[in-house]
C-alpha cells in the first residue's frame, strides 16, 4: 500500500483540437498542484456507451458478431452503442438491443459501469442486464453497421474468452460483471 497521497490536479485550459464526428479531441493543460508543474494532454471526449447483457430464459446470452474498423476484423460481443445526449443508459441499451438484434426483454437494470480508458477518454461504458429476452422484431442497422446475432450459452462464456474468441475488452468486462451478478464465479 502506498504511503504517499496523490497530488491534486487543476484544469487550466481546455481547447477543441479536432472534431471527429463521433468524438472530439480536446487539448487540455493541467497543473499538478504539489509542484506547480504543467503539461498538455489530449483527451477523447465522447458520449457514454452501453453494452447489453441480454439473457434468454434458457440461459443464453444474445451476442453480435460485427466488423470493427480498428482491428479490421470481426468481434463477438454484446450488442450496444452510444448513449445519446440526455438519454438514460437503460433506455439506450434497450433501444440498441432491439435495433441490432430484434430482441427485447424484462427487468432491465444497470449492473455496473467502467471508464473505457481513463488515460485518454472522458466517457463511461454502462452494462445493462435484460432478462427473459425474446426475438420480437426485425433489426434496423445504422448505415455503416452489419451484425450477425449469435446466442451463446452462459456456461461457454469463460471458455470463449480463454480461447481468444471474445477479445473486445469492454465485452470481457461486461461478461465479468454478468457472471458476478448471476452468481457464476468468473
Residue 4 lies in a domain: no
Q: Which domain holds residue 54?
A: 49-181
Residue 1 lies in a domain: no
Q: What pLDDT score does 82 carry?
A: 96
* Series of mean pLDDT values for 10-residue runs along the chain (186 residues): 80 96 94 93 97 97 95 96 96 97 95 96 98 94 88 97 97 96 79
**Per-residue cell: 167:** 477479445
Q: What pLDDT score does 144 carry?
A: 82
Cβ atoms of 47 and 20 within 8 Å: the answer is: no
Write b or e for each residue in 34-65: b if 16 or more Cβ atoms lie within 10 A of its Cβ, otherwise e. Answer: eeeeeeeeebbbbbbbbbbbbbbeeebbbbbe
Q: Does 40 share its domain with 58?
A: no
Structural domains counted in the chain: 2
Q: What is the pTM of this model?
A: 0.91
Residue 65 lies in a domain: yes
Amino acid at each position: 500500500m502506498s504511503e504517499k497521497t496523490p497530488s491534486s490536479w487543476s484544469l487550466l485550459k481546455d481547447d477543441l483540437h479536432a472534431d471527429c464526428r463521433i468524438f472530439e479531441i480536446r487539448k487540455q493543460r493541467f497543473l499538478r498542484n504539489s509542484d506547480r508543474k504543467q503539461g498538455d494532454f489530449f483527451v477523447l471526449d465522447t458520449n457514454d456507451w452501453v453494452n447489453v447483457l441480454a439473457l434468454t430464459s434458457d440461459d443464453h446470452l444474445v451476442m453480435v458478431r460485427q466488423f470493427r474498423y480498428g482491428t479490421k476484423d470481426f468481434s463477438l460481443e454484446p450488442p450496444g452503442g452510444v448513449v445519446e445526449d440526455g438519454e438514460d443508459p437503460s433506455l439506450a441499451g434497450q433501444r440498441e438491443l432491439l435495433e441490432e438484434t430484434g430482441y427485447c426483454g424484462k427487468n432491465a437494470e444497470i449492473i455496473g459501469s467502467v471508464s473505457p480508458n481513463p488515460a485518454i477518454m472522458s466517457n463511461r461504458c454502462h452494462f445493462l442486464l435484460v432478462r427473459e429476452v425474446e426475438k420480437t422484431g426485425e433489426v434496423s442497422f445504422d448505415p455503416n453497421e452489419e451484425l450477425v446475432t449469435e446466442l451463446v450459452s452462459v456456461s461457454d462464456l469463460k471458455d470463449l474468452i480463454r480461447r481468444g474468441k471474445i477479445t473486445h475488452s469492454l465485452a470481457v468486462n461486461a461478461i465479468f460483471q454478468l457472471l458476478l451478478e448471476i452468481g457464476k464465479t468468473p
